[in-house]
Amino acid sequence: KAGVTQTPRYLIKTRGQQVTLSCSPISGHRSVSWYQQTPGQGLQFLFEYFSETQRNKGNFPGRFSGRQFSNSRSEMNVSTLELGDSALYLCASAEQGGINSPLHFGNGTRLTVT
């Protein structure tokens, strides 16, 4: 099976712009989660989608949003970009989201905000 695919791998944006990141989960996986990784904070949970519904959300401002499509592919959007949004954004998929269903991560999208 192909792994989790994230596009693009690298992105450079300026403050105030918006950005959309894409994630294709492993075939058959219905749960998609998003994490932000920064040197100072480590990996932080953004949100998780299952069957097109957001099941859980982390402590991020409303500028961060996401959605999931019927084919389980997911997008994450960040509006009004700030310098502090520069980070590696990781997508992870799982079959259901239970203890027998570990997360499989993609290689991430490196976002730089200037």
Partner 1 sequence: DQQVKQNSPSLSVQEGRISILNCDYTNSMFDYFLWYKKYPAEGPTFLISISSIKDKNEDGRFTVFLNKSAKHLSLHIVPSQPGDSAVYFCAASDSGGSNYKLTFGKGTLLTVNP
43: tokens are 């990996």
Nearest Cα to Cα of residue 32 among 18, 21, 40: 21
Residue 40 CB, nearest distance to partner 1 (Å)?
A: 8
- In order, the DSSP letters of 65-81 are EEEE-TTS-EEEEE-S-
25 scored as a contact of partner 1 (CB under 8 A): no
41 scored as a contact of partner 1 (CB under 8 A): yes
Chain residues binding partner 1 by CB under 8 A are 4, 31, 33, 35, 41-45, 48, 50, 55-56, 58, 90, 92, 94, 97-99, 101-108
